[in-house]
């Protein structure tokens, strides 16, 4: 999967599934992802302690509706899974509209949109509907049914690993717990799948681990189960809201100057974008950046969470996400990975004065090249900053040269015995 159109087709296929933090909708989502990239599946039992949290009961829903006195369904889960508050407990009752109203959720300022609501950790139930529908409901009795179960089960998540030349890892994480919301979260899933396929076609330096997990509880569970090997994680990106037409936004890690922060800021330079400082609110970067881990993990979105009117509403549908925007997000991530994989620190083995490049054939190798001057300058910059403290991205930013030229110069100097990693 490479093109925006193919990513958009995956969004459309995943869109109808009723996902939550647990349940068959998550498993069905992982099944479809697994058709595109191999997935290691994990099932963590209800009641498992994960740091300060406990894996909750598994929630599944088969049907739900509100029907009027004539039996007509005025709110119907079969039409959209957003119509039911996530994790609603079972209900079978007849009640008046006045009794029902406290359980109905609308968006008065967006009267034709259905909101997305959940109640994960407190027993509750409810329906979401348009304000237009609510305004049209007459007084009278209504049949209210939610055919759901909350029972011991499992929390499900999936991992895909692209092996690298070293065991050190880059993690790419996206959440799989939202129902029919195309930008938040399906576009991120589609872009992650395509990035995994693109990396597998090459020979990356780092090992890339892709995580498809429920938000918050999924990341906390993964961290708890992988605490023994967390030192392998050198960089990471949490990916969400990857398909809207807004400019890209990168949210820095808690550290603020992690290598992934510097790389993505460099890649985004020269195009409309926004850099946001870290805050302990948002997506799962806040779990990876919690003080006990403090990993170099940032977050890449287009328009950030809650930053567009369609966020967490029925208007976040497949028409809202753009194939071109998803392709653009993918291109930025591919460039970032290419820089991460080649970014090294070097030591100058001939640091007393400028070494003679000509006698080593380095000038001769530039003869006739249209970029000979840039290549020469790149060698001189690498030699000057090869002190073990500066990496190639430092050289790139300070020199104003292209990273590719700096990386090629470092390779040439290494092969000539003038620098070492």
**pLDDT value of position 357:** 87
| Cross-strand pairs, 143 | 67, 94
**pLDDT value of position 359:** 85
Tens of pLDDT, residue by residue over 294-319, are: 999 999 999 999 999 999 999 999 99
**pLDDT value of position 364:** 61
Q: Which residues of 136-166 are buried (b: 16+ CB within 10 A; e: fewer)?
A: ebeeeebebbbebebeebbbbbbbbbbebee
Separation CA 214–CA 22 (nearest Å): 7
Domain boundary among 93, 126, 151: 151
**pLDDT value of position 375:** 86
Q: What CATH number does the domain containing 27 carry?
A: 3.40.630.10
Show the CA angle centred on residue 159, arms to residues 172 and 240, nearest 5°. Answer: 35
Q: What CATH number does the domain containing 91 carry?
A: 3.50.30.90
337 and 243 in a single domain? The answer is: yes
Question: Would you place residue 361 in the very low, low, confident or very high pLDDT band (cuts 50, 70, 90)?
Answer: confident
Percent of the chain predicted with pLDDT > 70: 98
Tokens of 72: 């007509």
What does pLDDT average to over the chain?
96
Q: What CATH number does the domain containing 416 carry?
A: 1.10.10.10
209 and 109 in a single domain? The answer is: no
Question: Would you place residue 384 in the very low, low, confident or very high pLDDT band (cuts 50, 70, 90)?
Answer: very high
Domain boundary among 319, 342, 365: 342
pLDDT above 90 (res 134)? yes
Residue whose pair of structure tokens reads 């997305």 in the numeric block? 116
Spell out the residues 6+ positions from residue 256 whose beta carbon is closer than 8 angstroms to its own: 277, 278
**pLDDT value of position 373:** 82
216 and 261 in a single domain? The answer is: yes
303 and 167 in a single domain? The answer is: yes
Separation CA 133–CA 82 (nearest Å): 14
Tens of pLDDT, residue by residue over 342-351, are: 999 999 999 9
Instruction: Please check whether residue 114 is in contact with residue 130, taking contact to mean a CB–CB distance below 8 angstroms.
Output: yes
147 and 160 in a single domain? The answer is: no
Question: Would you place residue 270 in the very low, low, confident or very high pLDDT band (cuts 50, 70, 90)?
Answer: confident
Average pLDDT value for residue range 149-178: 98
Instruction: Please check whether residue 274 is in contact with residue 247, taking contact to mean a CB–CB distance below 8 angstroms.
Output: yes
Average pLDDT value for residue range 118-138: 97
Question: Would you place residue 376 in the very low, low, confident or very high pLDDT band (cuts 50, 70, 90)?
Answer: confident
217 and 167 in a single domain? The answer is: yes
319 and 352 in a single domain? The answer is: no
The structure's pTM equals 0.95
pLDDT above 60 (res 332)? yes
Question: Would you place residue 366 in the very low, low, confident or very high pLDDT band (cuts 50, 70, 90)?
Answer: low
Separation CA 285–CA 236 (nearest Å): 9
Instruction: Please check whether residue 46 is in contact with residue 55, taking contact to mean a CB–CB distance below 8 angstroms.
Output: yes
Separation CA 144–CA 140 (nearest Å): 13
168 and 44 in a single domain? The answer is: yes
Half-sphere exposure of 279 (CA within 13 A, CB side): 7
Separation CA 259–CA 248 (nearest Å): 19
240 and 310 in a single domain? The answer is: yes
294 and 260 in a single domain? The answer is: yes
Domain count of the fold of the chain:
3
Domain boundary among 128, 151, 174: 151
Average pLDDT value for residue range 145-164: 98
pLDDT above 80 (res 72)? yes
Question: Would you place residue 141 in the very low, low, confident or very high pLDDT band (cuts 50, 70, 90)?
Answer: very high
Domain that includes residue 99, residue range: 59-151
174 and 303 in a single domain? The answer is: yes
Pairing status of strand 127-128 against strand 104-105: parallel
Tens of pLDDT, residue by residue over 204-233, are: 999 999 999 999 999 999 999 999 999 999
112 and 182 in a single domain? The answer is: no
């Amino acid at each position: 999967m490479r093109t925006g159109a193919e990513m958009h087709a995956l969004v459309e296929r995943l869109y109808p599934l009723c996902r939550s933090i647990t349940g068959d909708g998550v498993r069905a989502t992982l099944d479809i992802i697994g058709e595109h990239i191999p997935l290691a599946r994990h099932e963590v039992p209800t009641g498992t302690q994960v740091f300060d949290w406990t894996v909750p009961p598994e929630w599944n829903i088969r049907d739900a509706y509100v029907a009027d006195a004539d039996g007509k369904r005025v709110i119907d889960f079969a039409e959209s899974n957003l119509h039911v508050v996530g994790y609603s407990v079972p209900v079978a009752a007849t009640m008046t509209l006045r009794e029902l109203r406290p359980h109905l959720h609308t968006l008065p300022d967006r009267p034709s949109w259905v909101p997305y609501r959940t109640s994960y950790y407190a027993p509750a139930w409810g329906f979401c509907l348009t304000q237009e529908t609510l305004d049209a409901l007459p007084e009278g009795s209504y049949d209210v049914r939610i055919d759901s179960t909350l029972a011991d089960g499992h929390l499900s998540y999936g991992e895909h690993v692209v092996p690298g030349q070293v065991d050190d890892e880059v993690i790419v994480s996206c959440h799989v717990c939202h129902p029919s919301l195309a930008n938040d979260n399906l576009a991120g899933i589609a872009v992650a799948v395509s990035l995994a396929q693109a990396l597998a076609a090459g020979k990356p330096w780092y090992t890339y681990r892709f995580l498809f997990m429920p938000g918050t509880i999924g990341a906390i569970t993964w961290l708890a189960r992988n605490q023994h090997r967390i030192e392998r994680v050198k960089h990471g990106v949490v990916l969400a809201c990857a398909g809207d037409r807004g400019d890209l936004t990168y949210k820095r890690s808690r550290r603020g100057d992690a290598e992934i922060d510097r790389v993505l800021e460099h890649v985004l330079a020269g195009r409309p974008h926004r850099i946001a400082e870290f805050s302990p609110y948002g997506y799962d970067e806040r779990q990876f950046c919690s003080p006990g881990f403090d990993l170099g993990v940032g977050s890449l979105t287009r328009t950030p969470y809650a930053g567009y009117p369609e966020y967490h509403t029925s208007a976040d549908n497949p028409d809202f996400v753009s194939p071109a925007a998803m392709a653009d997000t993918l291109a930025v991530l591919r460039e970032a990975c290419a820089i991460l994989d080649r970014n090294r620190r070097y030591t100058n083995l001939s640091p007393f004065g400028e070494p003679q490049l000509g006698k080593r054939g380095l000038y001769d190798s530039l003869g006739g090249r249209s970029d000979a001057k840039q290549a020469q300058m790149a060698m001189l910059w690498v030699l000057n900053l090869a002190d073990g403290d500066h990496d190639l991205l430092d050289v790139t930013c300070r020199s104003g040269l292209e990273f590719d030229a700096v990386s090629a110069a470092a390779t040439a100097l290494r092969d000539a015995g003038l620098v070492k990693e």
